[in-house]
Structure 1
Amino acid sequence: MPRLGRGHPRAVILFALVAGAALAASGPDAGTETPPALAACKARFGEAPQGSESAMCFYRNAQGASGRDAARRLLTELLEHHREHPWLLMVLGHVEQLSEPRAAEASYRRSALEFRRLQDAEGEVLAAINLRIILMNQKRIDEAREWTRRIAEVARASGSPELNARALIVEANELAEVELDLGRAFRLLKRAEALVFPDGTDGLKKQCLSSLAVVSTNLGRLEEAADVYQRLVELAQRTREAPLEARVRVSQANLAVTLHERRPEPGGRARLLALAREALAASELAGSKSMEAMSLRIVADLLGPSPEERLEAEQHLRRCLTLADELGKPERRIACLWTRAERFAASAPEAADRDAEEALRLAYAYADPQYLALALRARATVAFHTKPLPDALHHAERALDAVESLRSLQRDASSQAELFASWASDYHRLAGWTLEAGGVTGKAATLAPREALERTFQVSERLRARSLLDTLVASQALSTSGEEPGRRAARAELQRRLVAVQRRLLESTLGAPEREAALNELRELERNERDLRPAPRHGTTEFATLEAVEKGLAPDEAMLAFLVGVDRDIYGDPAGSAWLLVVTREGSRAHRIPERTRLTPAVALFSGLLERRDGSEVGAAVALHAQLLGPALAALPPGVRRLLLVPDGPLHDLPFAVLRERPDAPPLVARYELAVVPSASLWRYWREQPALSPGGEALVLADPERGTASPVKRAPASERAGVFDEAAQLAALPEARREGHAVERLLQDTKVAPRLLVGLEASERALKSARLDGVRVLHLAAHAIVDAEAPERSALVLAPGAEEEDGILQPREIAELHLEGAMVVLSSCQSASGAMLPGEGVLSLARAFFEAGSRAVVASLWPLRDDEAARLVERFYRHLARGVSASAALRAAQLEAIEDGQPPAAWAGLVVLGDASLVALEPRARTGAGGIQVALGALAVLSALVAAAVWFRRARP
């Protein structure tokens, strides 16, 4: 999790915002009217004792100390004559809450029970919400849970959208605060948002947005959180609520720090400091000590190293600790302490150590996984400056243990991945520190070099593709085996409704209002579907060790694992830098590479140059080769012929095959077979699977048609691309159809039986109903939709094939196909691309096929031209059918494309993902031919290699 100003605990914001919004729950837009005098409130109550408004008058005039005492006295007097008046009881609780929260418990409880007797759903829900907050603040969790259940039960029975929204917010807060299940909390809050906007009260909007902003931040949905906070600021300004605006300004400053750490910009620290000062000014104006403490801490953290700024920071942190003690909030004190420890670790090491230890002790007592992880991170940072490096490594490793405990509390795999992504920089930092301890950076070693490499490799593996690894090890993450029949039936019904909505969205005649309504319904169904999925089943995950990978690699293989961090964080502390770990059977090494802030624009520029198809990318290819691979490849054993690439960050989008040593040298693919693997642990998992049995089937779906039995004529498309709203109108892919026939023909000479489905037969229903356990190769030549904002809506576009299908084959459906190690070839645009989640990797269509059980997926990094894709894929199958591995077949096909003079954009986008050594096809020996067929296959691959060698020789100076 990135620091929120040196690791500000996001949970602090959650408690502040929810507690601040709590009293607003007791009536529509409390505090928006000009309050009359308390005497007038009493007279008003005498005239109209029923209902809430006359009772709420007392609370509105009880904000100052004198008014509070008078209001309490008047309410007590009135209750002598109206002993069971539920609104008077609840308002008395409000007034007591201002100064004596424990006394308010009895008033709220009596109020809730009286409302229940009167069958007043609104009153009972409002009283119960406030009672629950008191119980939560007193850590009486079980009692609070019972009231949460009661609130939900009453609200749903009432049928009131407003009460249902309030209940959803309460349930979401409990999930986020107690169970730390952020994914489910987020989905509940999105449902509440749909009920609250646009017609809900301002008070309810504030509660919903406050909780939604914090949960979004904690879940790593930073852009969404920024948008919600801006909506909150506008609402606070419109309703003139200074305390709320102060809370939001503080939250925005923290979020800005997090966003800057993910995407650093020049001059960012000065901009962040200005935002923090604005938050401090707003907090002081609102008179909020809690927000003042938080903003003081952020300002102190962002101040520079000059003597004047150091003095200002010291004063701010002293005031921060004083306010924390006055408020009696241990979480505020923890944050102030670790900020002061980190801020002055270099200049006052002994004091910094004491502060860091006290913060850690308090965090253990506070028993919140987020606080503990953040306190351990701070302890590691201080130890880096004050202790021997192994001490810092120890605390940093403990912080990662706490992070993974927090991850395990999430109830669905996507939420685990989203939360985990927020902590990726901590893994980069620990990896870099560990290599430094091993003397790799040239400093004196405090760890044996080999031990440093082994520990760094373990950190690298703990970071990568964890959700995918868990899924495969458990083998049942999304399966229905062992699932309760009721839940299974509910999921089936939801899938039916999803299909119906998506079929409507695919209608080109759908009007804008109907489309918006359908999209809203789709979002709700998607949230419900995710809630009904079985919780991830974690098998015993044993990460691959460096020694095991070295032993498992073939003599001609090398694994290149990248860790792309930054050199220094926003505070100037060492952040781990960027590294390449090179692993071979003969041993391992580490090489420094450029940091992420340099590689990200370089890779984007390189991709843009490739699209021009004019050779202008050569200079960038040489530069990236030198920066990323030069020293590593020069030190490889001479027999290495295959590179297993484990990318990180921007390198997921890099076509390594195009990189070259010199402008006149051949591209990297001329020297090596290439494959991309998500992690060494996944590579080992796939390698340990038994070899595919000969025979079986090859299922080929090509150029699906989405029409009826009398298809309309479609114009040819130049690229295999598409967007969701236009999926129904995607153009034909005639080359894909010819490609399908070519693949069928080439497979005739193998031991698998090809089955070709084209046009209307290339359907979603046909794929889902096929016996896939016997399929050795699954080939899909079709349009693809890649939605980077909503990865689970990405899809392969097929013919529906049945009324219960929509032809939009999405990741949740792909993951249930139950492939048995088959190779999947996705001859579709961008099927290897998608949203990039730090640590987890690319959330692509290809990844979903791994969840389904594939061991190797051939997919594309960018849009494919239909004719070029068909030629390249045909070449690939010609070599694959001769019994060679996936990476060898693709390399041979790409070398032929190079020999034909095609630009890299035509051949470099296709990549092998997963097990590069997988041999999916075995040639059929013809009668009387003996072993000639195998020899011919070897000769064909050899001829491609000879061609590459000739070109390489010609290109030499």
Structure 2
Amino acid sequence: MAECHLGLGHLDECFRLLSDAIKDLQDPHLDPDARWRVYGVLARAAARAGDDEGMLRGYRDAIATIDSLRRAPLGYRLDSTYLEDKQELYAAAIEGAARTDHAADCCAFIESIKSRTLRVVLSMPPGTTSEESPGAARFHAVSRELDGIDYKRWRGDDVRSLRQKAKDLRAERVQLLEEVRVSDPRWRRLTVPITLDQQAVLRQLSQRRQAALTLFYDPPALVCAALWEGKLRCARLQIASKVMDCLATYQANLLKARPDVELHDFSSRLAVTASDLIPAELLDVVTRAESLVIVPHGVLHLLPWACLLHQGHRLFEYLPVSVLPSLGLLMQRASLSRPATVGLLGVAVYPDLPRLAPLPSAVDELAAIRDAYHTAGIPVRMSPAGHQDTTSDYRDRCRGLSGQGHVLHVSCHGTMDTAEPMRSGLWLADGKLDAVAIAETPTPFEEVVLSACYTGWRPTEVDDIQLNGDDILGIPAAFLESGASSVLLSVTQAQGQAAQALTAHYHRRRAAGDLPLRAARAAQLHMLSTAIAPGAWTGFTLYGCQ
């Protein structure tokens, strides 16, 4: 009824009905899901009345109510489904905060959507483990069956008769994954949502002379909050239809069996600049920092942010640029330093999987990285020459390490699974190491470098489910959840020689003492000075903030 009066412009009657509804909803026995709707109508009514503070108060209460009902163990499918009918409210709240220049609310509203499960996992004390749930054993059995079918396909076997079985196993695996999440005892201690301490984040950024941007993209509208020099700022931008078309073209190209490598250089090839995606007044501010962290949203996660053009130069020519799935991760990252030890894994040939092409550059790549660290006196663990590393070798590299400063580099084929991103993984000599296996095995490596195709890819939807929770999925999330603080990987198809040149230079700079952000920038500057086409290397992206 209140919405009807709002639509008719009867604001006094609307406010009276809303006041009564809010009083009634204080009864804990009533449906708490109705509260956020009432607060949302109250916010819209206040906006209609020109009461900006009342509007923001209504949206704060609505989003706080949603947050209290939203539970991390839902998993990305159920969480996205839960948020489906709330997207309009989030978009209106973020737009309203930006329009009225309330940057703190704008930032809080944007961040309330992002990577909730990952933030929860990383907020837990180190060493917190989960117990084996009743469905976990079956989940792993189903995963092994699916991996076996994948293995047969890449071996060249005729697997047409197994298509229906694979489809059924995928569906069962998705259901089991949700059940395993819900039954995980770690979640039972979570009685309040994880909130972002904006002042603590601002202090952390100031100490590093670092700026951050967090984005919300509701086509064609983009809202951006900037954090720099102890201040919060926000601005809006209407994305041009041409730019939206370019985003769609770029995204579609990533999914092609034989993508156009030139299109991987999104900014140069499609003539989209940083100012087309970041409000100019904020871009001018944050490029004064010593480094920049960008927290994308939706399809913007796929962009090579560091390589976007700005006034004729790449962003990385101005300053180091990295990405994170949430501003909250700025507070939860370990302090990185010069590497203490380095673990190397690589597969140059797949004798049992003839459909996977050889990677001859992997041999030279690992040798160059080994030599860089040996010259610097840093211990390296790697297999003997000619050995093709396996999933057992990965687990072996993870054993026996304690303390800080451990680095892992993997050179192999990567694979993305568009139907189930947590089955995306790394193809080692004996099979696939998928994202679930990575996430559930705590890693001693604070820093991970993946010279493999599509390891940074993440979907914007799975089947018919839009990822409304904006969770980062797949391999990046898996390594971050397992304990890594910095992950360098490729969103696009990695090109052998380009990947070798970029990652080898990165490791040379790390061996010399540069932190990951500066080492990544040095590698990008090095690649810019070579004759290698930018589309072959612009897809490399650093997840991290140091």
Counterpart in 2 of 1:499? 144
Counterpart in 1 of 2:464? none
Distance in 2 of aligned mates of 1:552 and 1:436: 27
Does 2:351 align with 1:351? Answer: no
Does 2:303 align with 1:642? Answer: no
Secondary structure of the corresponding residue to residue 506 of structure 1: helix
Q: Which amino acid aligns with 2:167?
A: L
Secondary structure of the corresponding residue to residue 635 of structure 1: helix
Residue 907 of structure 1: CA displacement? 2.3
Please show how residues 80-119 of structure 1 align to structure 2 within 5 Å.
none
Residue 511 of structure 1: CA displacement? 4.3
Counterpart in 2 of 1:524? 172
Residue 621 of structure 1: CA displacement? 4.3
Counterpart in 1 of 2:474? 844
Distance in 1 of aligned mates of 2:388 and 2:262: 37
Distance in 1 of aligned mates of 2:6 and 2:387: 64
Q: Which structure has the higher relative contact order (CA within 8 Å, separation 6+)?
A: 2
Say if 1:514 and 1:910 are closer, same or farther in 2 by CA, change over 3 A. closer
Distance in 1 of aligned mates of 2:304 and 2:324: 14
Please show how residues 255-334 of structure 1 align to structure 2 within 5 Å.
none
Q: Assess if the C-alpha contact under 8 Å between 1:791 and 1:844 holds in 2.
A: yes
Secondary structure of the corresponding residue to residue 313 of structure 2: coil
Say if 1:455 and 1:523 are closer, same or farther in 2 by CA, change over 3 A. closer
Say if 1:394 and 1:885 are closer, same or farther in 2 by CA, change over 3 A. same
Q: Assess if the C-alpha contact under 8 Å between 1:341 and 1:355 holds in 2.
A: no
Distance in 1 of aligned mates of 2:298 and 2:346: 33
Deviations 1:752-808 (A, max 9, x none): 3212247764111221244344471111111111123311221211122xxxxxx22
Q: Assess if the C-alpha contact under 8 Å between 2:362 and 2:412 holds in 1.
A: yes
Please show how residues 667-682 of structure 1 align to structure 2 within 5 Å.
667-682=314-329
Distance in 2 of aligned mates of 1:606 and 1:681: 29
Say if 1:341 and 1:706 are closer, same or farther in 2 by CA, change over 3 A. farther
Residue 341 of structure 1: CA displacement? 3.5
Task: Give unpaired runs (5+ residues) of structure 2.
Answer: 254-258, 461-466
Secondary structure of the corresponding residue to residue 393 of structure 1: helix
Which of 215, 221, 229 matches 1:562? 215
Deviations 1:166-210 (A, max 9, x none): xxxxxxxxxxxxxxxxxxxxxxxxxxxxxxxxxxxxxxxxxxxxx
Q: What's the TM-score once normalised by structure 2's chain length?
A: 0.84
Does 2:38 align with 1:375? Answer: yes
Does 2:352 align with 1:699? Answer: no
Say if 1:690 and 1:421 are closer, same or farther in 2 by CA, change over 3 A. farther
Residue 352 of structure 1: CA displacement? 3.1
Secondary structure of the corresponding residue to residue 152 of structure 2: coil
Does 2:488 align with 1:858? Answer: yes
Secondary structure of the corresponding residue to residue 858 of structure 1: strand
Q: Assess if the C-alpha contact under 8 Å between 2:421 and 2:473 holds in 1.
A: yes
Which of 434, 439, 451 matches 1:810? 434
Deviations 1:114-170 (A, max 9, x none): xxxxxxxxxxxxxxxxxxxxxxxxxxxxxxxxxxxxxxxxxxxxxxxxxxxxxxxxx
Secondary structure of the corresponding residue to residue 832 of structure 1: coil
Please show how residues 147-296 of structure 1 align to structure 2 within 5 Å.
none
Deviations 1:330-354 (A, max 9, x none): xxxxxxx25424422xx32223334
Does 2:484 align with 1:830? Answer: no
Does 2:307 align with 1:653? Answer: no
Distance in 1 of aligned mates of 2:540 and 2:72: 38
Counterpart in 2 of 1:782? 412
Q: Which amino acid aligns with 1:552?
A: Q
Distance in 2 of aligned mates of 1:682 and 1:351: 45
Q: Which amino acid aligns with 2:310?
A: E
Say if 1:798 and 1:511 are closer, same or farther in 2 by CA, change over 3 A. closer
**Root-mean-square deviation (CA), in Å?**
3.3
Residue 737 of structure 1: CA displacement? 2.6
Q: Assess if the C-alpha contact under 8 Å between 1:555 and 1:584 holds in 2.
A: no
Counterpart in 2 of 1:888? 518
Counterpart in 1 of 2:463? none
Counterpart in 2 of 1:432? 95
Secondary structure of the corresponding residue to residue 214 of structure 2: strand
Distance in 2 of aligned mates of 1:614 and 1:505: 27
Counterpart in 2 of 1:55? none
Give the greater-gyration-radius structure (CA).
Answer: 1
Say if 1:352 and 1:530 are closer, same or farther in 2 by CA, change over 3 A. closer
Q: Assess if the C-alpha contact under 8 Å between 1:341 and 1:382 holds in 2.
A: no
Residue 895 of structure 1: CA displacement? 1.1
Larger strand share, 1 or 2: 2
Which of 111, 114, 139 matches 1:461? 111
Say if 1:615 and 1:675 are closer, same or farther in 2 by CA, change over 3 A. closer
Say if 1:884 and 1:617 are closer, same or farther in 2 by CA, change over 3 A. closer
Say if 1:514 and 1:658 are closer, same or farther in 2 by CA, change over 3 A. closer
Please show how residues 384-463 of structure 1 align to structure 2 within 5 Å.
384-386=47-49, 388-408=51-71, 411-412=74-75, 415-416=78-79, 418-420=81-83, 423-437=86-100, 440=101, 452-463=102-113
State the identity %.
Answer: 20
Say if 1:730 and 1:759 are closer, same or farther in 2 by CA, change over 3 A. farther
Deviations 1:822-856 (A, max 9, x none): 10111111111121333434313111100000000
Does 2:397 align with 1:745? Answer: no
Q: What's the TM-score once normalised by structure 1's chain length?
A: 0.50
Tell me how many residue pairs correspond in the alignment: 521
Distance in 2 of aligned mates of 1:455 and 1:614: 35
Distance in 1 of aligned mates of 2:84 and 2:483: 24
Does 2:403 align with 1:755? Answer: no
Say if 1:868 and 1:410 are closer, same or farther in 2 by CA, change over 3 A. closer
Which of 340, 348, 362 matches 2:4? 340
Does 2:244 align with 1:589? Answer: no
Deviations 1:666-702 (A, max 9, x none): 222111111111222111111xx3445863x311111
Counterpart in 1 of 2:543? 913
Q: Assess if the C-alpha contact under 8 Å between 1:559 and 1:643 holds in 2.
A: yes
More displaced stretch, 605-614 vs 778-787: 605-614
Q: Assess if the C-alpha contact under 8 Å between 2:422 and 2:435 holds in 1.
A: yes
Secondary structure of the corresponding residue to residue 542 of structure 2: strand
Counterpart in 1 of 2:392? 765
Distance in 2 of aligned mates of 1:654 and 1:614: 9
